[in-house]
Structure formats: C-alpha cells, structure tokens
Structure 1
Amino acid sequence: MLSRFCAAALILLAVVLGVAPGAYAPAAHAQTVAETAPDYARWERLATQVEDAIEDPRVADGELDTLRGQVVDARARFLAAQDANRARIDTLRSQIEVLGPPPAEGGTEVAEIATRRTELNEQLSRLQVPGLAAEEAFRRADGLVSQIDQVLRDRQADALMTLVPSPLNPANWQSGLNTLFSSFVAILGEVQNNWAEPRLRTEFQANLPVILAYLLFAGVLLTRGRRWMEQLTERLLNASTTLRGRNVWALIVSLGQIVLPLAGVLALAEAVKATSMTALTGEEILDALPEAGFVVLAARWLGGQIFPAAGAAYAPLNLSLERRREGRLHSLLIGVVLALDVLRVPLTAPDLQPPGANAMISFPLIVVAGLLALRIGQLLRLHAEARPQPDPGLSFFDRMMGIVGRLAMVLGVLAGVLAAVGYVPAAEAVVYPAVMSLGLIGVLVLAQRLVSDIYGMITGTGADANEALVPALVGLALVVVSVPAFALVWGVRVTQLREVWQSIAEGFSIGGTRISPSNLLTFFIVFVLGYTVTRLIQGGLGTSVLPKTRIEKGGQKAIVSGVGYLGVFLAGITAFATAGIDLSALALVAGALSVGIGFGLQNIVSNFVSGIILLIERPVSEGDWIEVGGTMGVVRSISVRSTVVETFDRTDVIVPNADLISGTVTNWTRYNNTGRLIVPVGVAYGSDTRRIEAILNEIAEAQPLAVVDPAPAILFMGFGADSLNFEIRLILSDVAFKLAVMSDMNHEIARRFQEEGIEIPFAQRDIWLRNPEALRATPHPAPTPERPAPPSIPPHEPQEPGRPAPPPRRIDPVMGSRADLSDAKLPDLGSDDGAGSGGGDGR
C-alpha cells in the first residue's frame, strides 16, 4: 500500500517538475509494440496458458497480473497489425471500382474486364488475410483481459469482505502477542547465530570503522539535518535584501528536511547491514526501513507546510496557531502509523500467521489512523466554516476542503467500526487510502502554490500571481493528471493504468476515422501557427499596406476582416490535413449533426451570414451615424455576429447583424455628411410675418455650416392654435453638428425676438361663467353625518350707482376656483356665439 503512495507521490513530483517519465513511457512502449510483427504461434501458447490460469483458483493474483500485462502487449500488436496493407487494400478497392459494378446474375461482361476483376479480387483477398487474422487475435486477447479483470475483481471483493475473528475478543489477543514476541525472538536468534560464527565475527571487526562512520554520519543527519534546513529556509524568507522568487527557493530548500534525514536513515540501515549480524527477517526489515523513514519525514514536512507555524509567509488553511500546531502533530502521527504498517509486514509475515493474530496486530494501527483522519477532517471543516463566502466562485477551494473534511471523518469512523466487527481487510482498504489521499491533496495544494510563485517570479507580479489565469489553468491541469496517483492509492493496478493510457494513445473512432492524442496535438500546433500567420498578415495589411491606398476606412476594415476569416478557414483545413484526420469520413456525422444544430443555431448563422454581407456590401461602416430599430448612434465595431453602436449618451448597444440587413436602417453619414435641419418657430398673433421672415433668414444665413446652394428657406407653415408657425429649413455641410447648430439658432432667435419686441406665445385658456348668480340660487341639500354641509359662497358686493359691473369670476386652469363647486348645480359653461366664452387667442 505504501509503495503505491510513493509511486503516486513520484508521479505528482514528476508532473510538477515537467519531467513526467511515466507519462511518456507507455507511449514509447506502445510504439515498440506496434513495430513488432505478431507471432501467432507464441500467442497461441500464451493464450492457452492464460485460459488455464483463469480456470485454476490456485494461481496467485501477482501471476495473473503478469499474464494480463503480456496479453495487453499482444493485444496492442494485434491492433497495430489490423492496419497492415491498408494503403494497398485501398488502392485495390479503387481499382475495382474503376472497373464498374459486377454484372448481374446471368449477365456477362467483356472477358478482359472479367479477368482483371478476378485478379484484383484475389490480390485483395490475400492482402486482407493478415488484417483479419490480427482482428481475430485482438478480439480473443481483449476477451482474455476482461476475464482476468473479472477474476481479480472477484478475488479482491472476496478478500475485502472476509470476516476474521474480532480483535476485540480477548481470546485473540494471546495469538497476536505471541506473533509479535516470536518475531522479535527470531530477530534476536538471527543475531546470536551470526555472532556465533567466527567468520561473521571477523567480518564485523573488519567493518567496524565503516560501521562507526555510517553511524556517525547517520547520527549527525538525523539529529541536526532537519534543523539546518529549517534555519536556511527561515533565512531565505526573512532576508532583508530583495530576493526575487524567495518563496520558490524557500520551498525547494525546505525539501532538504526530507532529504538529509532520509540520507541518515539510509546510512543507519547500511551500518546495520555492514555488521553482518542480520539474516532473512532482519534484512527484510532493513530494506523496508528507508521507505518507512521517508513516510515519516514526508508526513512531517507536509504537515509543516500545510499547517505552518507563526510568522510563516503562506498558510493555505485559515486556522488558529493552536489548531495548526495540532495539525502538525497529527500529520507526524499519521506518518508514524503508516511507517509501522510498512514495518509490520516483514516483521510478522502476515501470510504465515493466523487471521486472528493479524487482526489483533493491525487493529490498533487502524483505529489510530481512523482517529487521526477524523481529526484532520475536523480541521478542514473548521477552515471551511471560518472563511467568509460572499462569492461562491471565490470559495471553491473552501467548499472542497469542507467536503474532503467530511469524507475523511466518515471514512475514519467507518474504518474503526469495520475493524472492530472483524472486517479488518476492508478497514485497511478504507483508512490507509483515506489518509494517503489527504497527503496527496496536500501535495496538490503545495504544487499550486509553487506554480503561482514561479509565475510571479517570472512575470514580476509577486503576490498578484495567485489571481492570474495561467496559474489557475496549470493548477487545473495538475488536478487532472493527479487522477492516476489517486487511483494507485485506492488500489488500481499499474497494468490497468497502463492499459487506460494505451487506449487514450490509440484514440477513438468517429465515422471510420481514428483520432489519437498525437493527431489532436498536431492539429493544435498547425492551427495555432496558421492563426498566428493570419494575424501577422492582418496586422501588416491594416497598418502598412491598406492605409497607403485610396480605399476608404470601411473598405480597409472589410478587407482585413475577410483575410482573417479566410486565414482561419485555411488554417483549419491545413491542420486537419496535417493531422491525418479524414474529413470525408466525418461528412455523414457532420451532416446529421448539422440538421439539429441548424435549428438551434439558425439565428447565429443568420447573423454570421449578415455580418459577411455587411463586410462585402458595406452599407454600414465603422464611424457611420445610423438609426436602426429606434437606436441612434455611431457604429464602433462590426463583428461576425453583431454590430456595436455607441449612442449619444455613451452607452453601447449590441445590434444583431440580421437587423441591419433585413430591417430599415437610416445612415446619416454613409455617402456624405450633408443633411437637412428644420427649426420650428412660433410667434404671437398680430406679429408682422414679413418682418419675422426677414429676421429668420438673416439668422439662417449667418450660420457657418449652412450651405449656400441650396440657400436656407423660411416657410410660413400656417395658423396654429396659439401661434403663427414658421420653419427654418437649411442644409448643413456636416450633419454631425445638427443639434449644436439648432441650439445656436434657438439662442439667436430668442435674442433677436427680444430686441425686436416680438412675442413668443405660450399656450393658455380662459374659462368664463355665463350666469354665476345661479350658483347662489341653488339650494343645498340638508346636511347629514355622511354628507356635511358645503362651504357657503359669499355673495357679490352690492353694485354702486355708476360703477361698472364686476367681471365674471375667472377660474384658474391650474389651481381652480376658490369656491367648492362639487355639490353645486353648475350653470351652463359657455362657449356660444361669443357671449362670455373664452377666446382662443391665447392672450
């Protein structure tokens, strides 16, 4: 199990460093396999051996896995052999097609053609034999691989669900203690037996200086090596001078906290081996000691990075100093538990011990590992709950840490329960992958931090690199490539991963065309190169060539855009051809998809075609003043789908290109900048119309933007309800200044009319009461609680002799009369022949 964790860690380390040897090894292997011709006799022997092994339950899993790897290699050769003589077969088929269809039953054809058709068909049959044989062998190999996988899955399921004696039963404690005691006694007996041999004792005395040197070297590195690296890391982080990329160098130097003590562990193991006092059991333990030491040191270093102490420059988790200290302790204890599990196998030889003894020995380690996973999960949940989450997009990491924390807690408790019941193998398959997955997640977090720091060091952005796009994309790629590492941890075999990689390398088929990652990579490279060349040509045309021609700006833009579309199209066709992707084989698939896509994207396609028409016909160009669909503004850009119009209040309106082609568009400045301006003017009744005409003509002719031919026109339009209506009509040389000219002319009209004493009227109405005395004669109804009495209207003052009668009361059209007439019987409000009715002269 720990070896899988080490392999997974190495995969992640190789990916981060950009080496990734495991990623390229399967491809090289596949290439070697493809170049080897199938040996069908050897394959028959291998297939028979595999079929016998599948039927024999005594065959070990490791042997089945080895046989599976050999079958997978043979299957890859058979897949490559299926394309044997492919070019010659295609040529023969085209030759047969040239001869025309064969005659119908009972029909005849020319003897020469019949003879040639027979020869070509015989050649075709002979050339198809290797491919058919390879296809038959491929299907048999594929079936054998499936059978082996099924057998291994069934065995693994049976092993996981094996119920052993419960370790909580005191009756099993004695066998477990006896196993441990006998293991230590066996080691001690090996030492005593070797010491009793004079030859080995002499060898020990001869190697004593080497042993002491190893021990001294191991003691220094184990006691001081980690402290030295910690001090050097702190100096890099706290250096007063500016060191670009100090976080990167500090993280790299901190790896010495693993390397130096691990070198001490290796020296210690070599010192013990040099004594010649160990035998089989001791040597197995010494061989496992470096792996156990690496696990402890790596867990301690990873805990220090994820749960840093006070003053650290980077803390990925939002936890208090006390919780961080607790996290570092739990990380170290996880490493110790995993190391003890590594040493347990060579020490106790579980395959030779009764199940109850193995369960009793494994149970304490499982329980401690489950508790540690539970506590680490609680710390992750504390982090997720402590971080504010105003924006869900920014709290993805926090949410994921909360989910991982919950899973770690559940798996930790589940492992302890399973082990207590007696499902010890299932508990081991749950708790150890769980804690190792937590370690791999920590490695991913540090890898993302390293990528951001390197990007910041290269670009000089510093801490802002965490918000950049490139580190985010690289981090996403790291998550994707870490999937094989997690698969190894959770029990997936290396051969299965290798097979998956081979399947990916072989690609997939669409419409008879096989597309592999190499095809996609070739397509991407060629397309990017073509796109880059297209952009360079566009830049040269737009900045150097076209500005020196007489083509207007809109035409230049259309040419540049057309070159861009043509270049992208040619780049795509060239990329398909270079990658070896046969587009004719995809024609049927594309035709079927185009029907459904056409209905869903018909508006987009319509806008795209309209954009092409706009660029070719150019009824609208950038910089034109247009009005379409109630939107008026200046065209800022024309893209393949829409046109951006900037209105006069500086807002951008996106207009679909189809509206510009199918709708009514007013273009004020497309072919010329001249345009007509109409300024309405109203004067009071009684004004001298000829004088008004002269004044307005002087104002119009004084405008600098008014053209001379045709001259401005002053028109008397008619008699309005409140005014005599005139219009000034003139042609402007630049219609873009239409509103400014209108404003200047209105100012001038107001000034001249004030000087000439000409009144500019405003609308008003007079309302006259014909017989107001009827208001006094109307009796009011009796007041009730629901209907109070209306306010009284004071009578008119008595008329004095010789004094003219007061005018009728005027009701203001806005404020109304001061008398409340709501309940009074109103008299006839007149507008009869003029007896008391309001005139409409507006005065």
Structure 2
Amino acid sequence: MIQRTAQTLWLALAALCVSVVLATAQDTAGQENPAPEPEIDAPIVDDPTVSAAEQMMQGIEPPDGAPDYDAWSQVAARAERALEAGRASDQVLEGLRDEIDGWRAQFAAASDENKVRITTLRNQIAALPEPPADGETESPALAREREQLTSQLAQIETPVRAAEVAFARADTIISEIDDLLRTRQTEELLSAGPNPLNPANWSQALSDLGATMRDAWNGTRSSLDTETQRAEFRQALVPAIILLVIAFVLLFRGRKWVINAGNRVRSSGDGPARGVWSFLISLGQVIVPLLGLFAAILALSLSGLMAQRAQLIAQLMLSIGINLILARWLGVRVFGMPGAESQVLNLGNLARAEGRFEATMLGLSFGLYVFVFQLAEFEGYPDATRAVLELPVLVLAGVLMVRMGRLLRNHRESIETGEDEEGPNFIDRTLSLAGRLLMIVGIVGPILAVLGYSQLAGTAVFNTASSFALIGFLLVLHGFFVDLYGMVRKTTTADAQNALVPVLGSFVAIILSLPFFALIWGARENDLREIWGTMMRGITFGDTVISPSDVLLLIVVFLLGIGLTRLIQGMLKQTVLPKTRIDIGGRNAITSGIGYIGIFLAAVIAITSVGINLSSLAVVAGALSVGIGFGLQNIVSNFVSGIILLIERPISEGDWIDVGGRMGIVKDISVRSTRIETFDRTDVVIPNSDLISGVVTNYTRGNRVGRLVMDIGVGYGSDTHRVSEILMEIVMDHPMVTVNPEPQVGFMNFGADALEFQIRAILSDVFFILKVRDELNHEIARRFAEEGIEIPFAQRDIWLRNPEALRPVAASSDATGVTIRRPDDPRLDPDSDVTPEDGLDGD
C-alpha cells in the first residue's frame, strides 16, 4: 500500500521526469534488458469446454468486428485456473486483469451495436396483430411477415446477447481478481515482522545499506574504465557543469528571488487582488527549485557516470527533493509568514515558524521513507533490515505529527479566547479534531513499528500525513477562490468570504480530490477505473440504461429548452404582444402559459432524448396520483386554480383587488399562488384556490375607472337647494371626475343631528380616490364657511328617572359640557317663565 501511495503522489512524477532525461541524454549508456514477465506457477492448459457465448453464436453469422469468442474462452479459462490455484503473483494477476479488461471493453462495444435496428424490428413485430390463439388461424401473408421479422430479430439480437453473456463472465473474473488482490494487501498490511529494536538486526541493516552504497559507487567508478566512456565524459563535461551551475542558482537563490517579487507585488496591491497575485507568485517557489533539481539530475545524466543503481538513487533523491519543496510551500501557505495575509491558522509568529518547520520536516521524512522502501524493494533487503531502516523515519514523523497536532489545537484555543463572540466555526472545530487525530496517530504509529508492524505503522503515519497535506492544499485553494471572486467582482474580502460562488468552487475541488484520497489510502488505479467504468456504463432503469453522459445530455437539452422558452417569451412580451389590442393582463397570461408549455415540452424532449420510454413511468404516475389524492390536494387545487386564473383572467397583474380583507395591487400570478402588494408596501401571498372559491372584489377590472361616494351633513335650517348646488359645483370642477356619466348629488335623509347629503362621482382613475376625497373635503369646508352653512356635531340630552338619588343641585354640568336636568325642572316646560339663567329652589 505504501508503495502505491508513494508512486501515486510524487515518486511517479519523479520517475517519469528522470526516465525522460535518461532516455534523451544517455544514448550510449545502452538499454537494459526488460525484465521477463512473470509466469503463473502452475502450468496452464487450455480448457476445451466451449463457452456459453460460443454456443449461442453457433449457426449465426458474426457481424464485422465481432469478438473472437474462441480466443476469449482460452483467456477466461486461464484466468479462472489461476484464481482457483491462488499461487499467481500480484504482477501476473494484474496482467491478467488488464487483458480481461480489454476483452470486456470489446464485449461492451458489441452489446451496444445494432440498437436502432433491434428497436425497429421490435416495434414492427409489436405493430402486428396478436398471434392467433389455439385453434385459430391467420392469413399466410401475416404469418410469413411475422416469421421473417422474428428471424431477422434473432439473427441481429443473438450476437448482442452473446456479448452480454461474455461481458458478465469477464466482469465476474475481474471482480474475483480484485477481491484476491485486496485480500493479499490486507494480510500483508496486518502481518507482523521482525522487531526493529533487536540489536541483532542492527548490524545486518548497516551492512546491507553499506553494501548498496559501495555497489553504487563502484558502478559509477567503473563507468570510466574504457577510453570511449572517458571521451564521452569529457565531451559532456561542459554542458554538465553549466547545468550544475544553473541548478545551484535555482535551488539556493531562485526561491529568494520569487519571494522578493511577491513582496513587491503585494506592496503595490490591496484587497482580494493582492491575495490572488500572492498565490500565483508563490507557485514560483515550487517551480523554480524543481527546475533546479531537474537541471542537476540532467547534468548527472549527461555525465554518463550513473549506473543502474546510481540512477535509482538519483531518482529517489529527486523524490525527496520534490516532497521537501512541496511541503515547505504548503507549510508557508497554511501557517503563513510574519506580516503575510496568506494563512489558514490563527497563531502567533513563533507558532507559525514552528509549523512551517514541522511541515517541511514532515515532507522530508515522507521522502526518506519512500527512499528506504524503494531501495529495499530494489535490493531485496530482508524484513529485519527494512524494519530497522524505517524505524527512525517513523519516529521522526510521529514526533512531528504530535507537535503539529498541538498547533492545530492551539488554533482552536486562540479562537475561543479571542474577541469573536460567535466562537469557533465548523472549520475551526474540525481542525481541532484533526489535531487530536494527528497526535494519536503520531503516538500509535511508532509503537506499531516497535511491535513489528512496520507496514501498518508506515501506512497509518504517512497516509494520514498525506491526507492532511491534501486537506491543507484544499484550504489554501479555498482562500484563492475567495480572493479571485473578490477581485473579479471588485468586492471586499469579507464580502467575498460570505459569497456562494467560492464555496461552490471549493465543493467541486473536494469532489475532484476524492480519487486522490482513495489512492492515498490504498486504492489501486484499477479500482478507480472500475468505478469510473461502472458509472459510465450507467444504471439500468427498466429497459433503459442511463449513464452519466445521458444525464448530462438530459440536463443540456432541458436547459436549452428552458432558454428557448425564455427567448420566445421575451420576444412576445417585448415585441409582438405590445402591438396587439390585448390588454396587459391577457399579454401576461399568454407569456405565462407559453412558459409552462415550454417547460413541459423541454422536460419531455429531454427525457425522451436519453431513451427513456415515458410509458414505463406509468407505475410511478399511478403512485403519484395516489399521493396527490391524499397528501397533495391543496397543491393540486392551487395549481388547477392558477391555470383557471390564467385562462379566464378574472384578475390580472396591476388590478386592485380585495380578497378576504386583504387589499392591494396584483403583482404576480404564478401557477400556485398570487402575490399582491398592499398599500403598506408589504407582499401578501394568496393561494390561487382562495381567489377561485372565495369572494374577490376587483376595483380595476378591465379599466381603472371607479366610483367615489361621499356623505355630507349640514345643520337643520340650512337651504337644502343651495347646499345641493354648492356640492354639484365643487364636484364638477374637479378634473378627476368624469363628465359622462356626470356626478350626482342627492338629499338622502333627515338625520338625527344633520340633514344628510351624498355625492356620487365616477373617477377616471380610481387609484387617486384618496387624493380626490381629500381635495373635495377641503373645498366643501371652504365653500360652506363662505356661505355660512353649518356642519353640525352630535348633541345628546340625558333624562334621569331618579333625581332624588342625586345631590340637591338643580342642574350641573360635567366636564364634557353635558347638562343634567331633573324631570321637574321648570325650564323643561316650554310655557314656564323661568329662564335658564334663573336658579331653582333647594330640593
């Protein structure tokens, strides 16, 4: 597992680069003989049994490019015997798997052929009448047509069925190979080896390592034994020296130059743009030293001094350098430099420096572990030697992980003790848990190595470290997305952090990083290819297979349909409909109806474009109808009511309505509800069913003409004809009052306190009814004052039936001015000579 992890991450890159350099620069070094492909231990004898696919194809003429099922039977039998024996090496099983995977791809392609022709024949057979029942006959022509179509279908469909059978067999063999390899991997990981603390193993380990170094040196020295080799060395000496000088400058001065350039850029910018340029320039801290490493390796290759063992050591040294450079860059971006804005953790300057150092040393320890592991594989070191050489590296990595975990926990504590009242967020709490996990693994890993479980210890320690490195890179990438969004949208960093787009970008980055996490934790590349192949082959849905490409096609077709619908709606709303005599409510109804129809057609076309038969959804539609009957009654009622509103148009956008005591202007009519805006500028969402089944008052249906009704009272004794004339003059002079029909003024009633008149007038725009009422009231008050017409107020007399219960006061007035009189008060007698100013006797 550690070997695959290392090759997947950085050693694969190093091996590729070094191999290219050696192939181009060392032409006379000779070519190594390729290692012979390992064979299966047991002799392989072809199985004479004919496969099911071959039996199905007997008597059927295979189409052009059909798989060779005879050869496939031999390969499948060989693989099945190897699996049954269980003695084949991992390399042989991997080779068999790749070979069978190629066959499986052929079968998958063959099973997809002639789909259109098969579908056509099936539709033709289905279009024929039902076959006759027992005792019935049909016309010879119809029977002959049915027989021909059935024969053609069998001729075309049989190769497809044979390919599907062979595909199933190949898929089963591949699954068995994968299960066997995973079982071996697990057993190897959990197996105990020699104790590295045993002093007896130390001398052997040092001896084996010394022998490797001596052999590498002797091989390098022997490369100059002949005159030809020395001449080539002298010829390549000058280019090699130039490359070494370039490598020295790039390794020891290039990073400093990049840092100075970054400081100049940061000093000239501010805000998110400064963060973006800081990140981009910081990549030079990785690229420049890597170029220096490649220049050094190229110089050594041109010299022709490196033999096979020296080439391996150079390749492993390059891997160490790559890990060191990447770890240092990531440590700087995560922990930050003094005064820099690029930091993920909230730590002091001393803690930041410690974090950068520990991250760099952890990358170095990973490179050393890969160095020891690969060298032991190449030299064939015994398990005791490997365990002794790996133990110091594991202990160093464990100590670094414990200290780094403590830094992550300090970040959580600094957040809790800071001025932020909200406390640590999700990321801070996650980092705290991650720090605890690092500390646990850093302690348990070396203990496992001491107990003899070296592979398990290396897997736990360095896979955890690699996972945290990848998580740290994702956090740095999220900060870059935030700064990039802020620079593009020209917003502040705080606003960019609260935006959704950077979060979505980080989410996509996390999804894309999942295969790398799987590789780190032991997944093979074949496992990932298998998962991807399964996804691309799709999921069976009835008689239809839906693949990710089909889903993508469905989404694209649906979005294109929606876009075309919106285009047609905009053209009708802005260009066509305004030139017609249809009112605004009708135009809105037309555009809304076209929108619903377009969405429905887009969905149908998108579903049928991927081959889904809508008739197969009948069961789903039946279950949905049951759900509608029980749980979706209100939603369906509102939906149907919305359709009725759009068709009948009893109300339209812009109408002034009153429904259920809610009065306002209709702003939007959707398929489920209607939104009105009250005169308080608040939105009220009303279900469409309330508008259909309830009582709705529409003040402006069809036009904005409305009637104004005003009640006016004048005092008794006023000239009623003059009052009517004044009111008519006032209302006729107002510009908002229509002439046809003309307003009306009526003497309505003899009220308790006043003579009651009423004005009825039609306004050209009822939306101004409050303003018109206000202006008419002001004018009426002014004219009545000029004409001496009194507008009375209410007066009331109170009669007391038991005046003896009151104090012996003839009359009194309360604070409101209401006069209280006894029934025997002489002033109540109209024939009495007593005036209101005269007093009354005692009782």
Shift of 1:813: 8.5
Task: Tell me the TM-score normalised to structure 2 length.
Answer: 0.81
Q: Partners of 1:555 and 1:619 in 2: how far apart?
A: 10
What amino acid sits opposite 1:477 in the alignment? V
Structure 2 counterparts to residues 63-462 of structure 1, below 5 A: 63-167=92-196, 170=197, 172-192=198-218, 195=221, 199=225, 203=229, 207=233, 209-210=237-238, 212-239=241-268, 247-272=275-300, 279-349=307-377, 352-384=380-412, 386-387=414-415, 395-455=425-485
Cα distance change of structure 1 residues 374 and 607 upon mapping to structure 2, 3 Å threshold: farther
Q: Which runs of 5+ in 1 are unaligned?
A: 13-33, 776-795, 797-804, 816-828, 838-843
By how many angstroms is 1:10 displaced? 11
1:436-493 Cα distance to aligned partner (Å, 9 max, x none): 1111122223333444455555555575655544433322211111111111111111
Distance, in Å, in 2 between the alignment partners of 1:183 and 1:8 is: 26
1:806 has 2:809 as partner: yes
**Counterpart contact for 2:223–2:305, Cα < 8 Å:** no
Whether the aligned pair in 2 keeps the contact of 1:527 and 1:574 (CA below 8 Å) is yes
Which whole-Å deviations, capped at 9, do the CAs of 1:126-174 have from their partners, x for residues lacking one?
333212222222222222222223222322222232233454xx4x244
* Cα deviation, residue 765, structure 1: 6.6
Determine the C-alpha separation between the residues in 1 that align with 2:215 and 2:556.
66
Matched, 1:670 2:701: yes
Moved more, 72-81 or 450-459: 450-459
2:336 match: secondary structure: coil
Q: Is the 8 A contact 2:223 2:306 kept in 1?
A: no
Which residue among 750, 761, 768 is the counterpart of 2:793? 761
CA distance in 2, matches of 1:296, 1:177: 30
Aligned counterpart for 2:70 among listed residues 41, 65, 74: 41
For residues 158 and 83 of structure 1, the distance between their equivalents in structure 2, rounded to whole angstroms, comes to 40
Check 1:308–1:597 CA distance in 2 against 1; reply closer, same or farther (3 A cut). Answer: farther
SS at structure 2 position matched to 1:633: strand
Could you tell me which of 523, 528, 535 is aligned with 2:559? 528
Q: Return 153-162 or 91-100, whichever deviates more.
A: 91-100
Whole-Å Cα distance in 2 between the matches of residues 715 and 395 of structure 1? 75
Answer yes or no: is the 8 Å Cα contact 1:285–1:346 preserved in 2.
Answer: no
Deviations 1:352-409 (A, max 9, x none): 44444433332332233233333334433444554577779x9454454444444434
2:123 maps to a residue whose letter is S
Moved more, 34-43 or 499-508: 34-43
Query: Once the 2 structures are TM-superposed, how far is the Cα of residue 529 of structure 1 from its aligned partner?
Result: 3.1
Change in 2 beyond 3 A, CA 1:475/1:5: farther
Deviation at 1:185? 3.3
What letter corresponds to residue 631 of structure 1 in structure 2? R
Deviations 1:394-440 (A, max 9, x none): 94544544444444344334434433444332222222111111111
Q: Distance in 2 between matches of 1:38 and 1:836?
A: 128
Distance 1:592 1:701, change over 3 A: same
Looking at structure 2, the residues matched to 735 and 491 of structure 1 have their Cα atoms a distance apart, in angstroms, of: 77
The answer to whether the 8 Å contact 1:611/1:642 transfers is: yes
Aligned residues: 769
Q: SS at the partner of 1:158?
A: helix
1:598-609 to structure 2, matched below 5 A, reads 599-609=630-640
Q: Secondary structure at the match of 1:627?
A: strand
Alpha-carbon shift at residue 653 of structure 1 (Å): 1.3
What SS does the aligned partner of 1:319 have?
A: coil
The correspondence for 2:675, drawn from 633, 638, 644, is: 644
Distance 1:303 1:569, change over 3 A: same
Change (3 A) 1:92 1:544: closer
**Partner residue, 1:734:** 765
- Asked if 1 retains the 8 angstrom alpha-carbon contact of 2:673 and 2:686, the reply is yes
Equivalent-residue separation in structure 1 for 2:224 and 2:726 (angstroms): 136
Question: 1: CA distance between counterparts of 2:793 and 2:223?
Answer: 133
1:318, 1:386 within 8 Å by CA — same for their partners in 2?
Answer: yes
CA distance in 2, matches of 1:103, 1:111: 12
TM-score w.r.t. length of structure 1:
0.81
Q: CA 1:193/1:653 → structure 2, altered by over 3 Å: closer, same or farther?
A: closer
- The equivalent residue for 2:60 is none
Which residue type is aligned with residue 713 of structure 1? Answer: V
Give me the whole-angstrom Cα distance separating, in 1, the residues matched to 2:676 and 2:358: 62
**In the alignment, residue 330 of structure 1 is paired with which amino acid?**
E
Q: How big is each residue's C-alpha offset from its partner over 1:180-211, in whole Å with a ceiling of 9 and x where there is no partner? A: 34212331244247647872697358525255
Q: Distance in 1 between matches of 2:497 and 2:476?
A: 13
- What residue is the counterpart of 2:749 in the other structure? 717
1:195 and 1:201 in contact (8 A); partners too: no
The separation in 1 between residues aligned to 2:397 and 2:592, in whole angstroms, is 64
Please report how far the alpha carbon of residue 613 of structure 1 lies from its aligned counterpart in structure 2 after TM superposition: 2.6
How many Å separate the matches in 2 of 1:10 and 1:749? Answer: 97
Distance 1:593 1:507, change over 3 A: farther
Secondary structure in 2 matching 1:207? helix
* Alpha carbons of structure 1 residues 701 and 461: separation in structure 2 relative to 1, 3 Å: closer
In 2: Cα distance, 1:405 partner to 1:365 partner: 21
- Partner of 2:614, secondary structure, is coil
Does the aligned pair in 1 maintain the 2:657–2:696 contact within 8 Å? yes
| % identity of equivalent residues | 42
Root mean square deviation of aligned Cα: 3.9
Letter of the 2:802 partner, please give it.
Answer: R
How far apart, CA to CA, are the structure 2 residues paired with 1:431 and 1:766? 100
Taking structure 1 as reference, are residues 504 and 808 closer, same or farther at Cα in structure 2, changes over 3 Å only? same
Distance 1:390 1:765 in 2: 68
The answer for the alignment partner of 2:603 in structure 1 is: 572
Change (3 A) 1:683 1:223: same
Question: Equivalent residue of 2:225, what SS?
Answer: helix
1:746 pairs, out of 765, 777, 787, with 777
Is the CA contact (8 Å cut-off) linking 1:697 and 1:714 kept in structure 2? no
Q: Return the alpha-carbon distance in structure 2 between the equivalents of residues 642 and 319 of structure 1.
A: 53
Counterpart secondary structure, 1:164 = coil
Q: Offset of 1:279 from its aligned partner?
A: 5.0
- Segments of 5+ residues of structure 2 without an aligned counterpart are 14-62, 829-843
Amino acid across the alignment from 1:712:
Q
1:496 to 527, 536, 550: 527
Alignment partners' CA distance in 2, 1:177 and 1:3 = 29
Q: Is the 8 A contact 1:350 1:358 kept in 2?
A: no
**Distance in 1, Cα, partners of 2:10 & 2:777:** 81
Deviations 1:92-150 (A, max 9, x none): 33343344223333444444444443444333333332122222222222222222232
Equivalent AA in structure 1 for residue 745 of structure 2: A
Give runs of aligned pairs for residues 537-576 of structure 1, distance below 5 A. 537-576=568-607
2:642–2:673 contact (8 Å) kept in structure 1: yes
CA 1:752/1:293 → structure 2, altered by over 3 Å: closer, same or farther? Answer: same
Aligned-partner Cα distance in 2 for 1:37–1:176: 61
Structure 2 SS opposite 1:714:
strand
- Distance (whole Å) between structure 2 residues aligned to residue 735 and residue 193 of structure 1: 104
Amino acid at match of 1:175: N
